[in-house]
Chains A and B, each alone.
Chain A
Amino acid sequence: MSAVTDLRAPHPDTEAAATPPGPALLPLPGPLGIRIVAARAVGVTVLVALILTLPFALRFAGPAYAIDFGLIVALAVLSASVVAWIGEITLATLAQMGMGVVLLNFLQNRGVPFAAVVPIVAVLSVPVSLLIGVFALRLRGVYFAIATLAFAALAQKTFFQSYLGAEGGFEKPIARPSFVSSDYRLYYLIMAFLLVVAGTCYLIRRSWIGTRLDALRDSEMAFAVLGHSPGRYKLFTICVAGAIATVAGTYYGILQQVVPANYFNPVLSIAYFAFAVVGGLGSIGGAIAAGLVFGSVPKYFDTISQGHFVGYDQFFAGAVALLTVLTVPGGLAEIGRRTWRRVEGRAR
């Protein structure tokens, strides 16, 4: 049992410690400080403007459905990326999304208002996550990946096939809440949720939990010797990732309303993991960027090319993932960090 996969996603803190001390993170007085302040101000303004106007700005390329779908993919990719915090690969993301669709339908049929659906779904995702998490207590690396894949295959072949059917056959189709009747409105709802999730993930990474997760990823043995429980932290991370994926499934259900079981094919989970690799495993911003690119761009491209290039997305996703692994293992996150350092004039 020689090599066990050991995904070590770079952490900004450890990276910073490894590099020689450069200019401080806080803006310095003088021309460099002014440049950093200006760059950050412009960056934040552009980001806010983009978030507010994205579906309208891209209206020429296609309907808002594409960007809504991209946001949902971003959530799913973020979920896969969160599991990389503990150095593991999950291929059950799509299965957990499917649970979200099924739970949404179940709760809607019982008259639960949408405002309560999302928190309930997040809580109900915990038992499924714990089931997957049990594997993480005993398995690492590729063995854990295989276990999650087997779980995904089981869920798709048994549960989703019988519950959703080949054509998404709910007895009572999913209803879209009136306040998100259009795809444009739905965009703001999903974007708000994504920002909350990204913020929460960022806070977790920056807190003592994040530091301990880094320690766990680097050496489980040393982590246990220090008196911490690896199992507890693993289960926590898998539950966070599971909640994100399951709620992403809920939003997917609202967007599509009719979801066939085939969508939750485990192979697509492999593709989502590849997106997380392109984004930079463990990175929050990278995962969101990769999800948006791989989720939205093919849809817009289909509209622009009038359906002439349908199906090219998988080919390009594979090619980009392979190139990323070869050239920039840190993915989009690493490219982003490098570029931003240049913009701020801190590049060496």
Chain B
Amino acid sequence: MEKLLQTLIIGVIAGAFYSLIALGMVLVYRTTGVLNIAHGGIGVLCGFVAWDLITLRHWPYYPGVAAGIVVAVILGLIFERIVIRRLAGRPDLQTVSTLALFILAQGFVFIIPWWGNTWGQVFPSPLLGHKVRIPGADYSVTYDQIALLVVTVAVFLGLNYLLRRTRLGMAMRAVSDDGTAARIMGVNPRLVSPVVWGLAFGLSGLTTMLLAPILFLDNQSLTGLTLKALTVSFIGGLVSLPLTVMGALLLGGLEALTQVYSPGAKGLSDAWPFILLMVVLAARFVRQRSAFEDKAVVRA
């Protein structure tokens, strides 16, 4: 029982990692139809900016982190103005441009010599060293992990509220569904688009600020998480926030179960995203077939 509870906690924390990253990608895809592959790359870049300010230039923690997030938002606005707006109406090229931005951001992190990006940097946190012991689990959760969980829940609820209940969120969805109809109804896509990209890039910066104290700040580990989060967002069809979070928790849980109960199964833990992908694909295939057969029966 103790072991199971421990597994559950590890799984939920890992699920929160994936959720937070995937939510940012779902936000962009749902409101623009563009798969933002640069999400992880921008996050790492802004994480290094914050780390540079706090560790090397001795800024206080909160202004340093805020500066990192502001840099992310500004990059989002610049990217929207220079790239996304110029490629309006071509989501294929916009997706490819985010891919190029990902490589550019990764390369930029690599060429700054004093960032020492070939190994992981320890990201400072005022919560470092504080832990809460979970009764009955023989396991302690750090304050940083609790902060991550709280922010993940807040981001999930906030994005849900934004997209479903606010005029801005509805305008975002309207522009994504039918830009012409949205314009006729008085929505200005030129005002909506910067908000989406600024928010998404800001979210990627925030994600890194929360993940980096728990893991290390380096290109590889955070990019690896982004790749897994992409698979998780696939479970939600890249549009459903609740399904994305559920997928993330499922993936985190399965990984934790494998690590705790069968540590000898080398590689199985990393294979779960692919296995989940196959299962989702098979489920969709069956659902589509049954829908098709239903239609055939009705026609007959």
B67 contacts which chain A residues (CB < 8 A)?
none
- Cβ contact within 8 Å between A153 and B237: no
Interface residue A297 (Cβ < 8 Å from any Cβ of B): no
Specify the chain A residue showing the minimal Cβ separation from B89: A3
State A212–B122 Cα separation when bound (angstroms): 54
Interface residue B59 (Cβ < 8 Å from any Cβ of A): no
Total A-B contacts with CB atoms under 8 angstroms apart: 142
A239 contacts which chain B residues (CB < 8 A)?
none
Contact-size category for B? 35 or more
Chain B proximity of A173: nearest CB distance (Å): 23
- Cβ contact within 8 Å between A158 and B83: no
- Cβ contact within 8 Å between A150 and B277: yes
Interface residue B293 (Cβ < 8 Å from any Cβ of A): no
- Cβ contact within 8 Å between A2 and B177: yes
State A149–B273 Cα separation when bound (angstroms): 10
State A265–B57 Cα separation when bound (angstroms): 33
Digitize A315-326: 1 where CB-to-B-CB distance is under 8 Å, 0 elsewhere.
111110110111
- Cβ contact within 8 Å between B106 and A146: no
State A8–B273 Cα separation when bound (angstroms): 29
State A305–B227 Cα separation when bound (angstroms): 34
Instruction: State whether A154 and B223 are in contact (beta carbons under 8 Å apart), knowing that A2-B176, A315-B108, A326-B83 are contacts in the complex.
Output: no
B291 contacts which chain A residues (CB < 8 A)?
none
Which of B95-103, B190-198, B205-213 has 4 or more CB atoms under 8 Å from chain A? B95-103
Q: Give how many A residues have a beta carbon under 8 Å from the other chain's beta carbons.
A: 48
Specify the chain B residue showing the minimal Cβ separation from A314: B107
- Cβ contact within 8 Å between B237 and A1: yes
- Cβ contact within 8 Å between A318 and B102: yes
Specify the chain A residue showing the minimal Cβ separation from B226: A267
Q: Which residues of A contact B (CB under 8 A)?
A: 1-3, 5-8, 135, 138-139, 141-143, 145-147, 149-151, 153-154, 157-159, 161-162, 266-267, 270-271, 273-274, 277, 311-319, 321-322, 324-326, 329
Q: List 22 A-B contacts (CB under 8 A).
A: A3-B91, A138-B281, A138-B285, A145-B35, A146-B230, A146-B231, A146-B277, A150-B227, A153-B224, A153-B270, A158-B266, A158-B271, A267-B106, A270-B37, A270-B99, A271-B103, A274-B103, A317-B103, A319-B104, A319-B107, A324-B100, A325-B83
Q: Which residues of B contact A (CB under 8 A)?
A: 29, 33-35, 37, 82-83, 86-87, 91-93, 95-97, 99-108, 110-111, 176-177, 223-224, 227-228, 230-231, 233-234, 237-239, 266-268, 270-271, 273-274, 277, 281, 284-285
